[in-house]
Amino acid sequence: MEKVIRIQNGRIDQLGQTVLDNINFEVESDELVFLIGKTGSGKSSLLKVLYGELELSDGSGSMVEYDLRKLTKKQIPNLRRKLGVVFQDFQLLSDRSITDNLRFVMRATGWKDKREMDQRILTVLSMVGLEGKEHIQPHRLSGGEQQRVAIARALINHPKVIIADEPTGNLDPETSTEIMHLIVAVAKEEKAAVIMATHDMSLIEKFPGKVYKVENRELKSLDLMNRFDPFQPLFD
């Protein structure tokens, strides 16, 4: 299996303070990886490094084929073309239809041919079960549907990695499970790895994946056999 993420002895700083140190982390192209840990522990910071929003301050790291220590401003859009990013608050443009939300990203990532764009829009909307809703504006959709649009947007460029920062944080438990099923299914279809920060333990129980815990400025791989040991709580 190809490694799509690799960080060795990495360090992440925010405003001169070390958030995470001695990060050793690898993700293969077909893996589902959960990041857990208390609020403020550094999950989002790690994800930001992976999508080029924050520097890797020390060590070495690669994301898809990009060297995270040598990432130039010019390379960041190219890196993001290889990724799909999904956020807790969906981050859709509220004044545009679903189609225009997707077109906006497509234009920003170099798509030009209108027919090809329309075709891809139909494909990704059908992958997330939103066919027929192309012209609706996001505020007329439920939270679960809005997250489906965000997932469709993440799929536009055939991502190698889907990065999801608490994608179910604003959804009820039933919708969260549906969205999680969808992320896992589309990742399989597109052959993308998934790395997801979450506070939702029920998702980790339902969907088999690797689990890393961020704690005391360290990223620890949790032993899968022991991770439900009641004496080693996942969440404090």
Ligand X SMILES: Nc1ncnc2c1ncn2[C@@H]1O[C@H](COP(=O)(O)OP(=O)(O)OP(=O)(O)O)[C@@H](O)[C@H]1O
Q: Which residues bind ligand X (CB under 6 A)?
A: 14-15, 19, 37, 39-45
Nearer to ligand X, 56 or 130 (CB): 56
CB of 127 to ligand X, least distance (A): 27
Structure tokens at 177: 């499970």
Taking the C-alpha atoms of residue 125 and residue 182, their distance in angstroms, rounded to an integer, is 12
Residue 65, Cβ neighbours under 10 Å: how many? 10
Taking the C-alpha atoms of residue 61 and residue 131, their distance in angstroms, rounded to an integer, is 39
- In eight-state DSSP terms, residue 158 is -
Nearer to ligand X, 44 or 101 (CB): 44
CB of 198 to ligand X, least distance (A): 9
Nearer to ligand X, 51 or 120 (CB): 51
CB of 102 to ligand X, least distance (A): 26
CB of 236 to ligand X, least distance (A): 13
CB of 7 to ligand X, least distance (A): 15
Nearer to ligand X, 14 or 60 (CB): 14
- In eight-state DSSP terms, residue 52 is T
Taking the C-alpha atoms of residue 46 and residue 108, their distance in angstroms, rounded to an integer, is 25
* Helix, coil or strand: residue 56: coil
Nearer to ligand X, 37 or 52 (CB): 37
β-pairing, 218-221 with 210-215? Answer: antiparallel
